[in-house]
Homo-oligomer: A and B are copies of this chain.
Amino acid sequence: MNTKINILLIEDDKSICSYITAFLSGNGYRVITALSGKEGVSLAASFCPDVILLDLGLPDIDGCDVLRQLRSWSSISVIVISARVEEQDKVMALDLGADDYITKPFGPAELMARIRTSLRHSHSAMPGRVYRAAGLEIYFDKRMIYMEGSEVHLTQIEYQLLSLLAENSGRVLTYKFIMNTIWGPYTDGNNQILRVNMANIRRKIEKNPAQPQYVFTEIGIGYRMRENESV
């Protein structure tokens, strides 16, 4: 399964194209570009992107017409990018079914934040962060854990603990930090409860808890989780 988000960029200015493509691909998105409205509509149909970035100033078809055509058969999120700041342009695009309207110039961080918001709205292609290593998968959005494809049930604290480690996979988290994060700051220096929980987690996810594959002990320091392979 491929979890990359697909973005269709409809934009005739090649330098803007390569600029946007560069930082979006650099952030894990797959970007496909269309240099004209016609091409854009047809690519939207064949590639089924999760989000479309549509520049209004296209050479062949008016951007609003592209939007109209898209909306006649599709409800893919469309973010309009435009140099026009006039209110009536925005109103028209939004009422034609655009999900957002950004005026140039804009920064890459804002664009990506607006893409995330659009994905959230579309509700379908929510990426959902995932931890994956060997047979273990953690879906943070669903709060679900699978081992070799079958569901693993963890208690509340066990889940908090494992996801804390997974979100910081590859790094050692000190006992103190973990205790502080999960049990709060008013704990004595005793890690007993942490050890018990770790043993329970290992019994559930490790084939041989004595030789762990996922959560490693750094004696005197803390725990470290095997690096996430899904990035």
Contact = CB atoms under 8 A, between A and B. Distances in A.
B171 A142 contact: yes
16 contacts: A87-B109, A87-B110, A88-B109, A90-B113, A91-B109, A91-B112, A98-B117, A99-B121, A121-B121, A142-B172, A142-B224, A143-B218, A143-B224, A156-B219, A156-B220, A156-B221
Interface of A: 87-88, 90-91, 94-95, 97-100, 106-107, 109-110, 112-114, 116-117, 120-121, 123-124, 141-144, 155-156, 170-172, 218-221, 224
Residue from the set A90, A94, A170, A172 with the largest chain B CB neighbour count within 10 Å: A94
Contact of A107 (B87, B117, B141): B87
A95 B124 contact: no
Given A87-B109, A110-B87, A123-B124, A117 B94 contact: yes
B95 A113 contact: yes
Given A121-B121, A156-B221, 4 more contacts: A87-B110, A94-B117, A95-B116, A142-B170
